[in-house]
Amino acid sequence: MSELTQEEKQILLNAIRDVQDFPKEGIVFKDITTLLNDKKAFNLLMSHLEKRYKEYNLDYVAGIDSRGFIFGAALADRLNIGFVPVRKKGKLPSTTVCEKYELEYGFDEVEIHLDAFHGKTNARVLLIDDLLATGGTANASAKLIKNVKADLVEACFLLNLTFLNGKQRVEQHTPVYTILDV
């Protein structure tokens, strides 16, 4: 299994910008746009993900709305497999299944197309997003994938906000790989 060195992890960390008080006071927002426009860092990340996941015999990569689309679609193309979007409610045009989840204040919903995995049972799926915080979005996305009878092989995140303990929540039902634990 390919591992990133501490030096390589530092290159990725340095490419992510902290923005204070966004979207509200007290939040330190992890801005990955600065990694995306750093070709060395973006290429390092995608090459690492390609090396890791080419061993997994995956059928699809599912990316979480919206930043998971960027990494997920790029990875699916490298692995020469299909990409499936897990979207916030009301955005997917055909028949969907949906799952509600709790936010800090209130609720939200994510959806997936019922035929996203071509009706194939036990399709091997990787779930990917940029960041794991409370784990609420990832938990709901994992449920969706399982509800359409696919096999969720792993959930992968570039960043894990360890103080929010999301990894422990998601690991209760799915193997989790996080690259940067901050």
Ligand X SMILES: Nc1ncnc2[nH]cnc12
- In 3D, which of 75, 127, 72, 58 has the Cα closest to residue 99? 127
**Residue 160 beta carbon to ligand PRP: minimum distance, rounded to whole angstroms:** 9
Comparing CB distances to ligand X, the nearer of 29 and 177 is: 29
Figure out which of the listed residues 10, 14, 17, 27 binds ligand X, where binding follows CB under 6 A: 27
Comparing CB distances to ligand PRP, the nearer of 20 and 121 is: 20
CA angle at 32 for the pair 138 and 116, rounded to the nearest 5°: 40
Q: Are 58 and 123 in contact (CB under 8 A)?
A: no
113 binds, among ligand X, ligand PRP, none (CB under 5 to 8 A by kind): none
DSSP bridge partners of 125: 60, 152
Question: Is residue 169 flagged as an active site residue?
Answer: no
143 binds, among ligand X, ligand PRP, none (CB under 5 to 8 A by kind): none
Q: Distance (Å, rounded) from C-alpha 71 to C-alpha 157?
A: 10
Return the residues of window 112-131 that contact ligand PRP according to CB under 6 A. Answer: 129-131
Q: Among the candidate windows 26-34, 92-100, 109-117, 165-173, which touches ligand X by CB under 6 A?
A: 26-34
59 binds, among ligand PRP, ligand X, none (CB under 5 to 8 A by kind): none
Figure out which of the listed residues 96, 137, 160, 174 binds ligand PRP, where binding follows CB under 6 A: 137
Q: Are 62 and 127 in contact (CB under 8 A)?
A: yes
- In 3D, which of 179, 135, 134, 136 has the Cα closest to residue 159? 179
- In 3D, which of 111, 123, 112 has the Cα closest to residue 149? 123
The binding site for ligand X (CB under 6 A) comprises: 27-30, 131, 133
